[in-house]
Each structure stands twice: as structure tokens, then as C-alpha cells.
Amino acid sequence: MPKPDSSHDSPSLDNALRSVTPGQGQPPFEDNIGNAGETHQDIAKGADHGDGAAHLTDNFGHRLADNQNSLRAGERGPTLLEDFFLREKIFHFDHERIPERIVHARGSGAHGVFQCTKAIPELTKASIFRKEGNSCPVFVRFSTVAGGAGSIDTPRDVRGFAVKLYTDSGNWDLVGNNIPVFFIQDAIKFPDLVHAVKMEADRGYPQAATAHTTFWDFIGLMPESMHMIMWAMSDRTIPRSFRMMEGFGVHSFRFVNAKGEGRFVKFHWKPVLGLESTSWDEAVKIAGADPDFLRRDLFEAIAAGNYPQWDLGVQIFDEQWAAQQPYDVLDATKIVPEDDIPVQIIGRMTLNRNVDNFFAETEQVAFLPSNVIPGIDFTNDPLLQGRLFSYLDTQKSRLGTTNFHQIPINAPKCPFHNFQRDGMMQTLVPTGRANYEPNSLAEAGEEAGPRACPETGFTSFTANDERNDPSQKLRVRAELFADHYSQARLFYRSQTESEQAHIASALVFELSKVELEHVRARVVSRLRNIDEDLATRVADGLALDLPEKAPAAKEPIDMKPSDALSIQKNVKPIMTGRKVGILFAEGSDKAAIDRLKGEIEKAGGTPFLVAPKVGGIKVKGGTLKADGQLAGSPSVLFDAVASILMPDQAEKLAKDGAAVQWFMDAYAHCKTIAHCEGTKILLDKAHVEPDEGVVPIEEFASVGTRRHWAREPKVRDLA
Ligand code: HDD
């Protein structure tokens, strides 16, 4: 147990975790209480069992003699209320669940470290950026937004990207998403947005999906959401891996340096593995094949030592520059194009440790956008301002107590001292009577407690904003917030042809699930302000007469397209971090399989052997175990596939739907298919046609795991 002291230093994470380890926290009794000669220290070590296992006790330290049978009045009689072991066990179990997050309930977390790679003291006094090499521990939680805690990992949805940096000047929480803009401009609309997107109130479905009437009804009536909708309908919302998606702080924040000078800053996390997404058909199939696809991917990568990394980038600009832009930098539905203000890399984050316990860490972690450190400040973005209240508030209903900051995953790793006292689940034991300030107890030699620190403490930045008159109380939106379409157009026109087709198809799919025709039509009428071609494609796809263009509060302008907005233009042609499925069967050539595995591993990828049976299979040159059985390991789980089969086995597999589908899907999802001569019959059955991505096994390493989008028109109608 962390030693309570009057300074209320935070328990370090290690100490706090130790406090719940069996055997810790016991008073140092020396008397014998167990078997002859057995001390508490022996008991803690589980000396009695001789195998290192601790004694099973209840929560108050009483040993259990029998954990299989409750105490009963006679062999066939009722259970006795007296059975305190049974009562405690069931009581605790009954209360295991806590309320899930109202949004972002489904999440996956990991520990890591952040390191500053470029000191920027001229921009911020934040201690973490004072010197190159400064580092701090981090905890990251990735999430979907709409679904419940047990929902699938791969719905079309925004992904949360929340980072807690445990710095030496306190916790800094950068609670962002994998999309740099948001649906709404003002926090007052957040409850409406969330009600509309979650399962519909009367019927309780759909789970984890935006493809339903109430969501699109809200969106159609909210033109400010159109930019975000372009991102949400793009492949950004069906990422291949958390490890391959960008993160964004979304809002304009403020850097403040030691001289008190402030500048706007936008935060970006850039994945070292590059960007990569799945296709929609693939995402749907993954949901069935592995509902935990992204969680498993993160866990397995870290467990294998393939630590995911992101560079932290910043865009810096001042009030003067901001005032000249055709949009307001305080509007969270807008980006600052990277071509206007380049992203400078200042640090790197590495996730290098999986959680020990999902509930204690990933579930109980509480992110607060209000957690900033000296050198980083808020801005007047009305969405951010509302968030500053909401997150603190929600933790009380989720975690049940104002002392949620004492839960190890939430506690800062630097000391904290104040006069806040008591409350439910207080675990600190402050000493002395100084629980108020000012006090003069020190004059009598007593502990007087901590004091404020004007030199190093947090001071709020005062913005010199000529456009704002703080003497007025107004419920208005600043004029510049009115342009809802220019950046939506910028995004759409920055995509490749294939990506544009994906956006159009996603809109058709989603709107086809909307039951009210006027809702569909209203959304399409807004799309006309973004791009006429897009609106026409979507209307065609829905067999809808093209509705009149919706009036725009402000006519959109054409902005210069930007490559940074496309995924396909930012894929890295590397095998690192990718998974390759290798299909084999009886009689396959072991040496060829080993060779291929070696090549994949050498390039940083992970080979995964798939066969009709998982146990040992007789192959040429020995026996080989598969990592997965064919029907349970469809090709949607891999970035590329390869097959090493004898013709007789390929012929047999050509009659197996799972095998044919394996190649059909890989082909339809534009993946590399590397094959040996023997597989030919199976490829023909799956209608796989030769192209640059369908290659002999020997050429696999040179082609790699990148997608072959040029194939797409052959496998999908891109109209
Ligand atoms: Fe939020 C959770 C991201 C707007 C209210 N939000 C939450 C999480 C992320 C975001 C990543 C999950 C944190 C975790 O893993 O525990 N939210 C955003 C972003 C926003 C945003 C990037 C816009 C730029 N959020 C937003 C608004 C409000 C909230 C405007 C309310 C006014 N968000 C919440 C919340 C949650 C939350 C209800 C649910 C659980 C939690 O906070 O801890 O308070």
C-alpha cells in the first residue's frame, strides 16, 4: 500500500498496482497464524501450496477451504445466509459492471512512451518540449464512437484517438479522433448528435452504425456537418489497423512560451507505418470473421514486439495569419490545410506495453480535455469550451466518485498536493489538520500544507482578439463559421478516383438504409453544394430524382486540393506491420513455405499459415501445423495472400466454398495474390484474372502487400 503521508504525493502507478497484488497491504505481523511456523510473509508467498500459488481468501483476508460448494443445511438442504464467502463472492460479482461511456464505449488501450525529438522552447514552455530527448509515459485508448462496449471493431465510424501523457508537470490529455474535424460547431448540439447517431430510441437498433434514419435526419438539417460527412464516408472510418491511422487534436489549441507569447497550434499524430484502410465489403466480412479485429491487431503487434509508433506534428500560426483565412480557426468543422501551414514533427510516441487488466486500465481510464499543462492552453472554440465541462462530469457517473483521479491509470506520476478531502472511495490518508488555506499552522510548528506557485503554476492566456467584445452576452455563431461547404469540397476533390467512388458508394449505402425519402433527398440537396458529380452519383445510386440544390448560408469557394487528405496517396509501400496469409495443404512443399515465411519476416511482415486442418499436416519435407483453419481464417484477415498447393489438393479445394471465397475476396479487395503453378485451378474457379498484383510466389517480395486499386473497376461498379 502506498505509505500515506501529509504531502499526499500521488501513489506511483507501480506502487498503486502493487497495492492490489495478493499479499501486499498486510500489517507486518510476526505471529504464527497458519500452519506451524507459517508467518504472514509465508502466506503472502503462498508457501503452503509449494507451487508458488497464493492462498485463496475473501476480500478481508480470510482463507477459503472450499471454493466449489456453498454452505448448506444438510446435504440436500437450503443454502445458509451465514455463508459469508458465498455472500461476498456473489455480492461483488453482481456489481462488476459500471456504466459504459455514453460515446466511445468500445475501446482498446496500451501503454507507451512519448519522446520529444525537437525542442521548441521558443513556442511553448511545456516542460516536455523544453529539451530534445525529454520523455514521459503515455496511455492511449482507441475507440469507435457509436457502438456499445461489446460491439464490433469494424463498423463505419470515427475512431477515437485519446492520449494521456503523464508529464512531470501533470497529466496532459490530448483527446482526439482519427479525423481532424467534427460534426458540429457548438457543444450545445452534442447531446442531439449523439442521440441521433446511437441506436434509435424506440427500437434499440441499429448498433454501431450511422446507416439509419435518425442520424441522417440530423445530418441533413445540420449543414455544418457536411465536411465531417465527407471524411466519415471515406475509408478513414474503416481503418485497417489503429497502427495505420492518423490522430488529430481537432481544435486549435494554444502554445504559450516563457515570455507569455501565445500562438495557435493544431496537433497531428502521423503513423510511422503510413495510412491504410480496408474496403467496405472487407470491413463487413471482418466483422463476422473477427469482431475484435482491431483490438487483436494492436495487442498482438505489441506482444510480438512490433511496437506501433506515431510522430507528433504541429501546425503553428498566429492571430494575424488566422484573421486572414476564409474560415475561422476556432471552428472545429475546419482544417488548416497542410499546404498552407506545414506540419512540423516534434516528437514520437511508441506503444510498447499491453495492459495487464482491461477493466482496471482501459475501462477505468478517464480522459479530460481540461487536462493541460503550463505552456498549452485552450482557445475559444465553442466545441472545446463545452468539452472542458463534459468529460470531468461524465467520470463521476462512470466511475462513481470524485476521487477517480486516484485510480492508478488516472493518477499523475508527478506529486500532487491540495486541500481537497474525503469523498467516496477516498484511498489517501492525509495527516495533520491543515485542510484549508490560508492557515498559520506553520507558526506553531505544524504541517501547513501546500501553497500556490505564481512562477511555475498554470496561468491562463489572454487572447488579444479585436474581433471579440467580451462585454456582450450573445447566443450567436461568428460570421466566418457560416461556410459549410468549401472544405467539404476541398476534401472530396483531394481524393483519388477510387476514393471518390468509395465516398459515393458509402453515401448510397447509408442513405439506402434511411426509411424517410425526404431525409435522403435533403442530404443529396446539400451534396450539390459540395460537388455536382458526387450528388448525381448518389442520387443515381438511390434512384432518386436529383433534388434542388440546398441554399448555402455562404457560397463555397474552390480551395487548392491537398494530397495530405488522401489515404491512397499516403500509403507506405512497406510490408512492415502487415500480415500475409499462406494457404497450404497436404503435400505442399515445406521448403517453399519456409522460404516465403522467411522473406515476409525479413521485410517486417507477419506470415500466418492457413490450412484445411489446424493440426499437423503431412507436407513434402515433414509435417506442418497451421496457425488457422481455412473456414475460420478468411482472406479478409490478411493484407495479402499466398498459396503453395499441389494440383490435386487445389482441385479438392476448388470444391470448397471457403477456399474459393478466400481467393475471390482477396481479388475483390485488390490484394496481392502470390501463387504457385499448382493453385491455378483454384484461381480460375475464383475468377482471378492475371494483373500486376497476381504474381508467381517468387515475385511476392517485390510486389509486397500494397493494394492494387487499378484492378477495382474489374471487381466493382464504380459509377
Ligand atoms: Fe468526446 C469521450 C473525442 C466532442 C463528450 N470523446 C470521447 C473520447 C474521445 C472523444 C476520443 C473517448 C475517450 C476515452 O477513450 O475514454 N469528443 C472527441 C472529439 C471531439 C469530441 C475529438 C470533438 C472535437 N465530446 C465532444 C463534445 C462533448 C463530448 C462536444 C460534449 C459536450 N466525449 C464526451 C463524453 C465522453 C467522450 C460524453 C464519453 C466518455 C468520456 O467522455 O470519458 O464526455
- Tens of pLDDT, residue by residue over 650-704, are 999 999 999 999 999 999 999 999 999 999 999 999 999 999 999 999 999 999 9
Q: What is the 3-state secondary structure (H, E, C) of 302-356?
A: HHCCCCCEEEEEEEEECHHHHHCCCCCCCCCCCCCCCCCCCCEEEEEEEEEEECC
Task: Kindly give the distance from the C-alpha atom of residue 606 to the centroid of ligand 1, in angstroms, as a whole number.
Answer: 34
Mutation test residue for ligand 1: of 100, 102, 103, 394, the one with most atoms within 8 Å of CB: 103
Task: Kindly give the distance from the C-alpha atom of residue 537 to the centroid of ligand 1, in angstroms, as a whole number.
Answer: 34
Residue 182 in contact with ligand 1 by CB distance below 6 A:
yes
Task: Kindly give the distance from the C-alpha atom of residue 388 to the centroid of ligand 1, in angstroms, as a whole number.
Answer: 10
State the amino acid at position 86 in one-letter form. Answer: L
**112, β-bridge pairs:** 138, 351
Residue 383 in contact with ligand 1 by CB distance below 6 A:
yes
Q: What contacts 480, CB < 8 A, 6 or more positions away?
A: 326, 327, 328, 331
Percentage of the chain modeled with pLDDT above 90: 91
Residue 6: which pLDDT band, with cuts at 50, 70 and 90? Answer: very low
Residue 270 in contact with ligand 1 by CB distance below 6 A:
no
Residue 368 in contact with ligand 1 by CB distance below 6 A:
no
Q: What is the mean pLDDT of residues 405-425?
A: 97
Residue 709 in contact with ligand 1 by CB distance below 6 A:
no
A 10 A CB-CB count for 664 gives: 18
Cell 439506402: give the residue: 512
Percentage of the chain modeled with pLDDT above 70: 93
State the amino acid at position 264 in one-letter form. Answer: F
Question: For residue 332, which atom of ligand 1 is closest to its CA?
Answer: 24
- Does 518 qualify as catalytic in the annotation? no
**Euclidean distance between CA atoms 641 and 644, whole angstroms:** 10
- Does 104 qualify as catalytic in the annotation? yes
- Tens-place pLDDT, residues 446-464: 999 999 999 999 999 998 8
Set of cell numbers at residue 703: 510486389
Residues in the chain: 719
Q: Is the pLDDT of residue 495 over 60?
A: yes
Q: Is the pLDDT of residue 53 over 70?
A: yes
Task: Kindly give the distance from the C-alpha atom of residue 186 to the centroid of ligand 1, in angstroms, as a whole number.
Answer: 13
What is the DSSP secondary structure assignment for residue 243, as one 8-state letter? G
Indicate the SS3 state at residue 510: helix
Query: Mean of the per-residue pLDDT values for the chain?
Result: 93
For the chain, what is the radius of gyration of the CA atoms?
A: 29
- Tens-place pLDDT, residues 185-196: 999 999 999 999
Task: Kindly give the distance from the C-alpha atom of residue 144 to the centroid of ligand 1, in angstroms, as a whole number.
Answer: 11
Strand pairing category for 694-696 and 673-675: parallel
- Tens-place pLDDT, residues 592-642: 999 999 999 999 999 999 999 999 999 999 999 999 999 999 999 999 999
User: Out of 28-37, 133-142, 294-303, 468-477, which region has the weakest mean confidence (pLDDT)?
Assistant: 28-37
**Which amino acid residue places its CA nearest to atom 27 of ligand 1?**
387
Q: What contacts 183, CB < 8 A, 6 or more positions away?
A: 193, 219, 222, 224, 225, 228, 229, 333
**Which amino acid residue places its CA nearest to atom 4 of ligand 1?**
387
Set of cell numbers at residue 716: 466493382
Q: Is the pLDDT of residue 20 over 60?
A: no
Query: Which helix (H) or strand (E) covers residue 77, if one does?
Result: none
Mutation test residue for ligand 1: of 175, 295, 333, the one with most atoms within 8 Å of CB: 175
**Which amino acid residue places its CA nearest to atom 12 of ligand 1?**
104
Residue pair 164/107 in contact by the 8 Å Cβ criterion: no
**Euclidean distance between CA atoms 573 and 274, whole angstroms:** 9
Q: Is the pLDDT of residue 265 over 80?
A: yes
**Which amino acid residue places its CA nearest to atom 44 of ligand 1?**
391
Q: Is the pLDDT of residue 708 over 80?
A: yes
**Euclidean distance between CA atoms 189 and 386, whole angstroms:** 10
**Euclidean distance between CA atoms 272 and 19, whole angstroms:** 37
81-90 contact pairs (CB < 8 A, 24+): 84/58, 85/58, 88/58, 88/59, 89/58
Question: For residue 248, which atom of ligand 1 is closest to its CA?
Answer: 22
The domains of the chain, with CATH numbers, are: 108-183+235-406 (2.40.180.10), 575-715 (3.40.50.880)
Residue 109 in contact with ligand 1 by CB distance below 6 A:
no
Residue 39: which pLDDT band, with cuts at 50, 70 and 90? Answer: low
Residue 163 in contact with ligand 1 by CB distance below 6 A:
no
Query: Which helix (H) or strand (E) covers residue 159, if one does?
Result: strand 159-167
Set of cell numbers at residue 245: 491511422
Q: Is the pLDDT of residue 5 over 80?
A: no
Task: Kindly give the distance from the C-alpha atom of residue 523 to the centroid of ligand 1, in angstroms, as a whole number.
Answer: 26
Q: What contacts 402, CB < 8 A, 6 or more positions away?
A: 396, 423, 424
Residue 141 in contact with ligand 1 by CB distance below 6 A:
yes
Q: What contacts 544, CB < 8 A, 6 or more positions away?
A: 517, 520, 521, 524
Q: Is the pLDDT of residue 19 over 90?
A: no
Q: Report pLDDT for 10.
A: 40
Helix axes 497-512, 280-289, angle to 10 degrees: 60
Question: For residue 101, which atom of ligand 1 is closest to its CA?
Answer: 40
Task: Kindly give the distance from the C-alpha atom of residue 341 to the centroid of ligand 1, in angstroms, as a whole number.
Answer: 27
**Which amino acid residue places its CA nearest to atom 22 of ligand 1?**
176
Full DSSP string of 206-236: -SS-S-SHHHHHHHHT-GGGHHHHHHHTSGG
**629, β-bridge pairs:** 611
User: Out of 34-48, 361-375, 423-437, 536-550, which region has the weakest mean confidence (pLDDT)?
Assistant: 34-48
Cell 434499440: give the residue: 204
- Tens-place pLDDT, residues 144-162: 999 999 999 999 999 999 9
Q: Report pLDDT for 467.
A: 85
Q: Is the pLDDT of residue 296 over 50?
A: yes
Query: Which helix (H) or strand (E) covers residue 55, if one does?
Result: none
Task: Kindly give the distance from the C-alpha atom of residue 108 to the centroid of ligand 1, in angstroms, as a whole number.
Answer: 15
Sign of the dihedral through C-alpha 360, 166, 164, 404: positive
Q: What is the mean pLDDT of residues 234-254?
A: 98
283-287 contact pairs (CB < 8 A, 24+): 283/154, 283/155, 283/156, 283/238, 284/154, 285/634, 285/636, 285/665, 286/153, 286/154, 286/636, 286/637, 287/152, 287/153, 287/154, 287/155
Q: Report pLDDT for 682.
A: 96
Catalytic residue among 55, 104, 212, 227: 104
Residue 299 in contact with ligand 1 by CB distance below 6 A:
no
Q: Which residues are annotated as a binding site for heme?
A: 101, 141, 190, 387, 391, 398
Residue 35: which pLDDT band, with cuts at 50, 70 and 90? Answer: low
Catalytic residue among 177, 354, 403, 410: 177
Beta strands in 540-698 (DSSP E): 579-584, 606-611, 617-619, 622-624, 628-629, 640-644, 673-675, 694-696
**Which amino acid residue places its CA nearest to atom 30 of ligand 1?**
187
State the amino acid at position 311 in one-letter form. Answer: D
Residue 332 in contact with ligand 1 by CB distance below 6 A:
yes
Residue 103 in contact with ligand 1 by CB distance below 6 A:
yes
Task: Kindly give the distance from the C-alpha atom of residue 80 to the centroid of ligand 1, in angstroms, as a whole number.
Answer: 47
Residue 158 in contact with ligand 1 by CB distance below 6 A:
no
Q: Report pLDDT for 565.
A: 98
- Tens-place pLDDT, residues 217-227: 999 999 999 99
